Chain A
């Protein structure tokens, strides 16, 4: 990857040549950590109409649409002087520069637990409905228009807004909303297909025809399958594919009637989205872990809790990555101390639970379904449309937590210890809180399943030597009952640079 691409990927959105290339109305480019968007004349009137609307201002004030400011001449000249944005900007052609608030950690729908896709869908529909009253609408309805600030969805693609023909009763993004929000949620809820399985390979979601093949004969006739899957499948089959008259502009001949039809459609979609909401209290292999499916005694867990608390109190890291977070006990500790936390785990069910808690308690935690041993790759055009997890995460955190997780990487995934520590050193700018779990540990033995021979050399001494390659050991604490040790490591000065 070129230095430019990796730099822009780290900055959040993607580089001008990758990120927003599909949109004819503008280009997004990060400049020195600031999110700058060039708006072309074709997109300007629509954007201004949104920025001036009462609903637009309301959503931006509430932080549900990314805060956006049109830059004045002085600011534009300053920006053009020292950045590559000059090559893309042509003020004479009527282009305008706007600046967006920066969302700390961009994430993509295939990394979200179902709860987050649901929240993004609810925001999209609410925007469409409230903007309708002011003659505005959405050009598209895809989860890629939404990022998360902590657990809260933020609509970031301000060029998606448009002035509507008030007599038009059709919502063109309807099918896209169904494909990218409703059908993936349906696949997750009724067929147990995780979102990453569907969305990492399909940019445009699931087609009704695809879900139709999975449904049983009676299911086909039952709502919500009947209206979202079966009807569109049957109707498309009977439609002459050369007949493009379907796409002509429509008019209800009456503004009030058009609005009545659209409002009813959006309300129906909201109801359907509600039906497809994931249930709280879902279970998975990992959902009972904190309630006792672990080998910590109460005292050991208290000691571990106190160890992490002390690190947070002493160093006050601003940005934390919690690897293998489960339901986020330690993420919440960090967030309560003012850190902005990214919590990753491979189990979407526990992360859904974490999202509910973070969202309910207003904790700055972004839960993402990512396994550090198989992290999200770069996806899309040139593999650069959506940056890989590591490209977004590298050097982005003041502290990385690897609590009760390295035995899974060592044993189940067979990643060498040095490699785990090398990656940790790439992710953190400063601290690593890591738990050593020896081969004599009952959980270690359980997952080793008779392959203990492979790990017989793994001792505390070997672990500490490996840590010292890149880190200094600040302190350690042996737990009383379990053969586990907690370490606070600091990146060596030469590695920090």
Chain B
């Protein structure tokens, strides 16, 4: 099939998300693409909340780390202020 370079570029420029106006970082996108297709048919005894609970815990881990970062930066700022005064 004949396809010149301009065509290729134009297809590329449309991907990913250009027309959706959402910017998603490339590495995250790759992880997500790696997960794609992994959806499984829900079976008997599957808890419908499992996935949401795992996701909540993953985000909680990240936010928990953020808590220490915040604590450190506020400690750092107060120390700087003390030194200045």
Contacts and interface: CB of A to CB of B under 8 A. Distances in A.
Query: A and B: partners?
Result: yes
Interface of A: 169-172, 174-176, 178-179, 204, 207-209, 212, 217-218, 220-223, 226-227, 230-239, 241, 246-247, 250, 252, 256-257, 260-261, 264-265, 268
B27 interface: no
Interface residues of B, number: 37
Interface string B47-84: 11111111111111001101110100000000000000
A212 B57 CA distance: 21
B46 interface: yes
A238 B38 contact: yes
A236 B24 contact: no
B5 interface: no
B29 A227 contact: no
A217 B42 CA distance: 20
Query: Which among A172, A207, A236 has the greatest number of chain B C-beta atoms within 10 A?
Result: A236
Interface of B: 16-17, 20, 22, 24, 29, 32, 35-36, 38-43, 45-60, 63-64, 66-68, 70
A221 B56 contact: no
Nearest to B15: A218
Given A212-B39, A260-B63, A207 B56 contact: no
A265 B60 contact: yes
A236 B60 contact: no
Contact of B45 (A208, A235, A241): A241
Contact of A236 (B17, B54, B59, B67): B54
A172 B50 CA distance: 11
A179 B22 CA distance: 25
A226 to B, nearest CB: 7
Contact of B55 (A204, A223, A235, A247): A235
Given A170-B60, A260-B63, A231 B22 contact: no
Contacts of B70: 260
Contacts of A217: 36
Given A221-B32, A222-B22, A232 B51 contact: yes
Contact of B46 (A222, A226, A241): A241
Contacts of B66: 264
Contacts of B52: 174-175, 178-179, 208, 232
Question: Which secondary structure characterizes the binding site on chain A?
Answer: helix
Contacts of A171: 56
A399 B60 CA distance: 54
B49 A234 contact: no
A231 B35 CA distance: 9
A239 B50 contact: yes
Contacts of A207: 42, 48
Given A208-B51, A235-B51, A174 B56 contact: yes
Given A221-B29, A222-B17, A241-B45, A265 B54 contact: no
Contact of B60 (A169, A175, A204, A230): A169
Contact of A233 (B45, B51, B60, B67): B51
B25 to A, nearest CB: 12
A261 B32 contact: no
A231 B54 CA distance: 9
A375 B43 CA distance: 34
Contacts of B41: 209
Nearest to A253: B64
Given A175-B48, A218-B20, A237 B56 contact: no
20 contacts: A169-B64, A170-B60, A174-B53, A175-B52, A179-B48, A212-B39, A218-B16, A226-B32, A231-B51, A232-B51, A234-B36, A234-B39, A235-B55, A236-B50, A236-B51, A236-B54, A241-B47, A261-B64, A265-B56, A268-B59
Contact of B39 (A209, A252, A256): A209
Contacts of B54: 232, 235-236, 239, 246
Contacts of B57: 170, 246, 250
B63 A261 contact: yes
Contacts of B36: 217, 220, 234
Nearest to B21: A222
